[in-house]
Amino acid sequence: VPVGVNPLLAVSQMLHETGYLVSFWSIREQRNPAGIGVTGKSSQVKPPNTDGWKFNTQRNQWEVGISFKNWKHHSIPAHVGRLLAYVLSPRTGTPEQRDLIARALLYRPLPLRTQGSAQTLKQLGKVHNPSGEGWASPGLDCGQRIATIANQFVEPA
């Protein structure tokens, strides 16, 4: 809330990305709330350099993705800061927002053309993002799924 991100939307995106916190990437040791850096690249054999790789015990293979040290100081700031980076153009926003974005992009950079490119949930999907990039790829219904999850938490008026 202090940086202008609706917690309901951040949690809804996390639930969408992690299959309601059951994916390998969301469980302890990885603590990745939103598939940050998870590219789909995998290997049946252990890579010579395992930096950026983890052994996925659910699929019994090595996969690329980011693991975070803890939720409070690493995972959640990386998630919220990355969301802000998609919404805010470079060098805009409050000092707190810019700091959070900078922290988040240390984990995984975001091209300048992509920063500020998602003014709607729909634009988090690559297919709908004006930069040609997106959080989800292809992301045909990414925004709709996030909205559907969020709406399940909101009581009708």
Mean pLDDT of 113-128: 96
Is residue 138 pLDDT above 90, yes or no?
no
Run of H or E residues at 144: helix 142-153
Q: Is 125 helix (H, G, I), strand (E, B) or coil?
A: strand
CA gap 15, 107 in Å, rounded: 21
pLDDT tens for 27-64 read 988 999 999 999 899 999 999 999 999 999 999 999 99
Give percent helix, percent strand, percent coil of the chain, each to the nearest 5.
Answer: 40, 10, 50
Place of tokens 């996030």: 146
Is residue 96 pLDDT above 90, yes or no?
yes
Q: With bands split at pLDDT 50, 70 and 90, how would you rate the model's confidence at 157?
A: low
User: What percent of the chain lies above the pLDDT cut of 90?
Assistant: 92
Is residue 155 pLDDT above 80, yes or no?
no
Backbone angles phi, psi at 99, to 5 degrees: -65, -45
Sign of CA dihedral 43, 124, 82, 34: negative
Q: What are 43's strand-pairing partners?
A: 62
pLDDT tens for 55-71 read 999 999 999 999 999 99
